[in-house]
Amino acid sequence: MSATLKTAACVALGLLAAAPWAATPAPMRPSGGAKYEVTRVLGPSWLHRLGLSVDESSMGQAGSWVSSPIASPLPEWDDALGAASDEVSVTLTGADLYRYSCQPCHKADGVGLPPVIPSLIGPVRATSPAGFKAQMKARGYDMDEATIRELTSQSERALRERLSRGGDKMPMFDHLESDEVDALLAYLKLLAGVPGLESRPIRISEPALRVGEHVVKGTCRICHDATGPGRDESVEIAMMRGVIPSLSSLLEQRTRAEVIRKVQLGLAQPLPFMTHGRMPVLDYLTADELGAVYEYLSDYTPRR
C-alpha cells in the first residue's frame, strides 16, 4: 500500500475511531420486513455495564436540566389516552429513530458531550466520497475515484456495524432492523451535511409498541436497570439516595400520566415543590411516544 493510501485510510478510520466504537461481539439480526419483532428489555443499564455512576458520565444526559417553571400550567394528561398496541401502526423516519436512540447522548445536533460523548459528524462525513475527496485535497493528497469509493464504503460499513453492535462505551442497538438502520443513517448524513442527499426521508411503518421499545432500549436503559431497586421506597427517596429506580419499579409506582410529566416537565407530581431531581428533562419526546413506552413496559415486563 502506498504512503498516500495509507494516510487516507488512517484519516478515514481515524474519523470512526473518534467515537467510542470498539468492536463488540453481538449478533446481527436479519431484517424483519414489514413485521417487527418486539422484545422485552433485559439486564442492567448501560452505565452499570460500564461500571459507571450517573455522576461519572454524561451518557443519557443531553436533555434540559431546567424544570418547567412552576407558574406554567401543567398539561392535563389522561391515563385514558389511546393505548399503543401491536395492532396500531405509526410512521417513523430516521429523525424519530435518532431522537429515540442517539439524541440522549449525542444531542440534537450530533456534536455530543465531549470528552465522554464525541461528535457523530466526523464519522458520518467519512462515508461521503465528495466530502472525503475535498478533505484529502485540503491535506495535499490527490486520490483517484476508485480509492476514494473503497475507503468511504469501508467507513459506511463500519458505521452501520456500530449502529447495531455498539462499542466499548456506546450501547448496542441490536434490536434495530436493517431498514431502520437505513433510515437512521440517511438522517445522520443529512444532519452531518453530507452533499448530494435526497431531501425526502425514509419512512417506515411500525407497530406503536415498537416506538415504546425504541425509546426504552435507546434512551431509558442507558441509566435505568430493567429490574432492581425502587420497589420498597418512593422513587424520590431512591433518587435522593443516589439509586436510579428500575424500569419495573417505575411501572409499579407510577401511572402513565406521572411518567409523561416526569420525562417532559421534570415533575413526577403536579406539585410546586417537586423538582426534576437528577434526571434531565427530555421534552423532545412526545406524550404519545411516552405513552407507548408505558404500554410497552406493561405488555413486555422487564427481566433480569
Distance between CA atoms of 102 and 114, rounded to whole angstroms? 15
Sequential DSSP letters for 121-143 = HHHHHTT-HHHHHHHHHHTT---
pLDDT, averaged across the chain? 79
Q: How far is CA 283 from CA 165, 291, 304, in A?
A: 28, 14, 29
* pLDDT for residue 141: 84
Q: 239: Cβ–Cβ under 8 A, 6 or more apart, which residues?
A: 245, 277, 278, 279
Which cell goes with 125? Answer: 462525513
* pLDDT for residue 65: 77
Nearest Cα to 113, choosing from 105, 121, 122? 105
Residue 102 burial (C-beta neighbours within 10 Å; 0-12, 13-18, 19+): buried
Nearest Cα to 14, choosing from 141, 136, 186, 172? 136
Q: Which helix (H) or strand (E) holds 56?
A: none
* pLDDT for residue 5: 47
- The low-confidence residues of the chain, meaning pLDDT below 50, are 3-34, 70-81, 272-274
